[in-house]
Structure 1
Amino acid sequence: MRLKLLIILIFILFFLGPHAGATRAEESPPKPRPLGSDLPAFLARAPRQETPDSLGDAAATRESTGTVTLRQALALALMQNPELRAFSWEVRAREAATLQAGLLHNPTIGADLQDLGVSASPDSVPQPQGTLQLSQIIELGGKRTKRREAVALSRDLAWWDYETKRIELFTQVTQAFVDLLRGQQQQELTEETVRLAEETARVVSERVRAGEVSPIEEIRANVALASAGIERDRAGKELEAARKQLAATWGSAIPQFEKAEGILDAISPIPSLTQLAERLSQNSDLARWATEIAQRRAAVDLEQSRAVPDLTLMGGVRRYESTGDNVFIIGLSLPLPLFNRNQGGIQEARDRLEKGEEERRAAEMRVATALSEAYRALSTAHIEATSLKEKVLPGAAQAFEAVNEGYRLGKFGLLDVLDAQRTLFGSRAQHLRALADYHQAVAEVERLIGEPLDVTGGRP
């Protein structure tokens, strides 16, 4: 008889508490943005999964001990960066929270014995009775379905946070790689400056010994040589800092690679600002707001469902020991929503929804402003790099060669040589900075539009 009762209760509980809303947790995450989507990126291992759930194998990604390309640096960082890996584990944690949100309340089983003891009156003999009772909370108002929906959308927001961090890391690595390329070329430029300063000092020293020029010119040449040496030492320290900065993006304190391999002097025509603004739909900061608003609406629905009180269903069997009789017990309880109808929770969720709408508009304005600023930097660097390469550098090189040769022939003074040398190497350094600024701006624009600026070229 007790077994039959338990079977009936289980059937009732299953009927009143259906498995609702069990689909969202199995849905695929938001689609990655095109920028860097062809590269492997770390995704935390799911429970009972033997290999990492990722677009590539982390074990196959190793830092090179020789040269490193931009693609290799990006692959290393996307697989090994500690911050990105932390975002991925947050996604897994919210997946677990989604699973937990869809579970039923556990039933409660209880037993008690009543009327035990000895009576002082022979006419009043206690009648012991035992009760076995099973109770279950039945959530009404669709709470479980709405709770699972809200938590599943929170999981999707964690995916968007991961995707935003992936794009930011892609940009960070690209910009660090550009800094390293610039540092390497700056080091080469300063070493060439030192060699020319040494050659100039040697020629001046010979002419001083021959009595052709004043000894003061030898002092000037040596001062220029010392200044060139200082610039070379500074460039060396900046280069080492750039190497460490790049290695830090994949969690390495000491760089294992020797140098970066890439070409800074690779620029492409840039589209207009209007064309770029039309591509902002791929921006992860903007795309996530559709999920954010949906999650806040789901939170409103959840709070409204909490205004409906939950039903507690009870059932059991009672046995009277004196007679050997068994009786069934069925009961239910339902709170009366007289005072607390979750008014504050509902209003709070509605206010947060309104806040979300304002935050989305603010995000749209912020991204549009950032794109305008990045485009200004991009166009300025593009014009500067092109003008320096086509107009300034050829003339500076010709002037330096002419003045240097003229000094050997006694047609120009040392000050003319030093001035021509400063102009030439200053122009080269300015061109190098303009190229680096161009690629830095390209990386920033790509972060904002969520896709490559120009798939046909323009990569360092």
Structure 2
Amino acid sequence: MAWFKACLIIYFPKTFNVIPFLRMPFKGRIMHSCILIMLCLQLHAQYSNQTDTLHISLLQAEKIFLDSNLSVLAAHYNVDAALAQVMQAKYWDNPVFHTDQVVMANHNFLPYKKLPDGSPGAQYFIGIDQLIKTAGKRGKLIAAAQTNTAISKLQLQDVVRKLRSQLHIDYYTIARSLGSYNFYRQQQAQLNTLLAAMQQQLDAGNISQKDYLQLQSLVVLLKQDMIDVGSDMADAEADLKTLLHINSNVFIKPDINSMPQVLLPEDASILIEQAKQNNPYYQMQQQQTIYQQQMLAYQKALRVPDVTITPNYDRLSNYAPDYFGIGVSLPLPLFNKNKGNIQSASAAVQQQQAIQSNAETELQNNVVNAYNKLKLALTLNTPEQQQFVQRYESLYQSMFNSYKARQVSFLEFINFFNDYKDLQDKLLQQQLNLALATDALNYETGIDVIK
């Protein structure tokens, strides 16, 4: 418990003098105890700086990612702020109060006292202006704010989709790199055993130094391959830990038992229709078009002038002691009919319609491309290939044992070893390509059509 002793020495110097701590008020002791616990935990982490392995499935990684990032992303894309704008658009304009009071008249300051005959001594005016928007401007602004909220939500979904896809890429890359690393380590152990035996044969003069050095070069090349694949795995680990907010001392080990069974439709038309309904980027472009059309309708509505209603009261007006009236005012659209803003909004609609059309074409091409790539990856993932791989692995073990027994030549063993190593690399890359192709089709479609 060295870490615990260290935190006590730091927090209670002078040989653990805790008497002042016991004399503190209850709240003070609680606060200092919390600080002590936090300090101890921090020192414990420093003393136990060991790498732990976290076995995690892809579904568990996705859950951690959403729990750790969704609230932050939602705040970044101002979904709550967009909802508040909808509420704000529903409010009416505030009434405007105005008055006209007498300050000085007939050399009298604030002449509000009654005259000798009992009549009021001064005039004052009170009025309230209330703006009433016409042509459905308020409803159009509410609809535009609601569409803007939908756009913010789709932006959030699109970012989550991209980060989730990056999580899958990192996860599968780690699995592939880890498979390669374990294979290289297994081959290195076998070659080291063989190298030790050949060292004895070299010392006895039974084999040439050329054969020994060639085998030693295989060990060196395997080490370099292990370094390269370890570097790729470290990069993917760093990205995945950032997405999951996991401590750097933890090693994430993917928990992949087998690849899912992939059932594809006969053509990609069904997937294209699903993508149009679920792809957040494409839906966002649709909502952007609706928003621009709503803004065009609002700009057209601004041609119609708003009405201001003014109920008022005037004491001691020209012809009545107490005057109650109502005024109506509106601008006359003679010079400014909002033509410039209408033309600008109309151009924005045409521009967004072109963007939406391009997004639809891009969506169709991306789905078809991902569909074809997945079909191509599936052509190599067959039961016949699995049987071939099993037979080839058995043949490699037989070849290795035969070489140890000096039943095959060194050149035959070296060639077979290199072929076997290349085959394993291609098999692991094939598994990665299949996983990435599956994820790419799910990404373009917007939903997990293949689970």
The answer to whether the superposition gives a TM-score over 0.5 is yes
Residue of structure 2 equivalent to 1:163: 157
| 1:172-211 → structure 2 map (5 Å cutoff) | 172-211=166-205
Larger mean CA deviation between 439-448 and 387-396 belongs to 387-396
Q: Which runs of 4+ in 1 moved over 6 A?
A: 321-324
Structure with the larger helix share:
2
CA contact (8 A) 1:171 1:447 kept: yes
Could you report, residue by residue, the CA deviation over 1:136-170 in whole angstroms, capped at 9, with x for unpaired residues? 11111111111111111111121222222333333
CA contact (8 A) 1:316 1:330 kept: yes
Return the offset for 1:265.
Answer: 4.6
Change in 2 beyond 3 A, CA 1:453/1:145: closer
Q: Partners in 1 of 2:259 and 2:142 — Cα distance?
A: 53
Q: Partners in 2 of 1:70 and 1:115 — Cα distance?
A: 79
Return the offset for 1:369.
Answer: 1.3
- For normalisation by structure 1, the TM-score amounts to 0.76
CA contact (8 A) 2:317 2:323 kept: no
The amino acid of 1:407's aligned partner reads Y
Change in 2 beyond 3 A, CA 1:134/1:269: closer
Larger mean CA deviation between 344-353 and 279-288 belongs to 279-288
CA contact (8 A) 1:102 1:148 kept: yes
Q: Partners in 2 of 1:172 and 1:397 — Cα distance?
A: 33
Larger mean CA deviation between 315-324 and 239-248 belongs to 315-324
Match of 1:296 among 292, 295, 303: 292
Return the offset for 1:267.
Answer: 4.5
CA contact (8 A) 1:446 1:452 kept: yes
CA contact (8 A) 2:178 2:233 kept: yes
Match of 1:100 among 88, 93, 111: 88
SS in structure 1 opposite 2:358? helix
Residue of structure 1 equivalent to 2:233: 239
- For normalisation by structure 2, the TM-score amounts to 0.78
| 1:281-320 → structure 2 map (5 Å cutoff) | 281=276, 282-320=278-316
Residue of structure 2 equivalent to 1:218: 212
Larger mean CA deviation between 410-419 and 313-322 belongs to 313-322
CA contact (8 A) 1:68 1:257 kept: no
Residue of structure 2 equivalent to 1:452: 448
Larger mean CA deviation between 398-407 and 137-146 belongs to 398-407
Q: Partners in 1 of 2:313 and 2:340 — Cα distance?
A: 41
Match of 1:364 among 343, 356, 360: 360
Change in 2 beyond 3 A, CA 1:89/1:368: closer
CA contact (8 A) 1:157 1:291 kept: yes
Q: Partners in 2 of 1:203 and 1:99 — Cα distance?
A: 81
Q: Are 2:56 and 1:74 aligned? A: no
Residue of structure 1 equivalent to 2:271: 276
The amino acid of 1:262's aligned partner reads I
Could you report, residue by residue, the CA deviation over 1:222-279 in whole angstroms, capped at 9, with x for unpaired residues? 2211221222233223222222221222344626454221135555344334343343
Return the offset for 1:187.
Answer: 1.6
Larger mean CA deviation between 162-171 and 195-204 belongs to 162-171
Change in 2 beyond 3 A, CA 1:448/1:387: same
The amino acid of 2:271's aligned partner reads L
Return the offset for 1:435.
Answer: 0.5
Residue of structure 2 equivalent to 1:50: none
Q: Are 2:221 and 1:227 aligned? A: yes
Return the offset for 1:290.
Answer: 4.1
Change in 2 beyond 3 A, CA 1:265/1:68: same
Larger mean CA deviation between 437-446 and 391-400 belongs to 391-400
Q: Partners in 1 of 2:367 and 2:389 — Cα distance?
A: 31
CA contact (8 A) 2:65 2:243 kept: yes
CA contact (8 A) 1:78 1:169 kept: no
**Bigger Rg over Cα:** 2
The amino acid of 2:62's aligned partner reads L
Change in 2 beyond 3 A, CA 1:257/1:202: closer
Q: Partners in 2 of 1:411 and 1:280 — Cα distance?
A: 59
Change in 2 beyond 3 A, CA 1:239/1:253: same
CA RMSD of aligned residues (A): 3.0
The amino acid of 1:175's aligned partner reads I
Larger mean CA deviation between 446-455 and 388-397 belongs to 388-397
Q: Partners in 2 of 1:388 and 1:195 — Cα distance?
A: 30
SS in structure 1 opposite 2:104? coil
Q: Partners in 1 of 2:75 and 2:133 — Cα distance?
A: 33
The amino acid of 1:179's aligned partner reads T
Q: Partners in 2 of 1:92 and 1:260 — Cα distance?
A: 35
Residue of structure 2 equivalent to 1:442: 438
| 1:35-46 → structure 2 map (5 Å cutoff) | none
Match of 2:376 among 375, 380, 385: 380
Match of 2:99 among 78, 96, 111: 111
Could you report, residue by residue, the CA deviation over 1:378-399 in whole angstroms, capped at 9, with x for unpaired residues? 2232223448943753454244
CA contact (8 A) 2:438 2:450 kept: no
Change in 2 beyond 3 A, CA 1:195/1:368: same
Matched residue count: 388
Q: Please list every run of 5 or more consecutive structure 2 residues that lacks an aligned counterpart in the other structure.
A: 1-51, 109-120
Q: Please list every run of 5 or more consecutive structure 1 residues that lacks an aligned counterpart in the other structure.
A: 1-63, 121-126, 456-460
Q: Partners in 1 of 2:70 and 2:275 — Cα distance?
A: 28
Q: Are 2:144 and 1:150 aligned? A: yes
CA contact (8 A) 1:396 1:420 kept: no
Q: Partners in 2 of 1:147 and 1:140 — Cα distance?
A: 12
SS in structure 1 opposite 2:449? coil
Q: Partners in 2 of 1:272 and 1:83 — Cα distance?
A: 40
Match of 1:401 among 382, 397, 404: 397
Change in 2 beyond 3 A, CA 1:266/1:328: closer
Return the offset for 1:431.
Answer: 0.5
Return the offset for 1:414.
Answer: 2.3
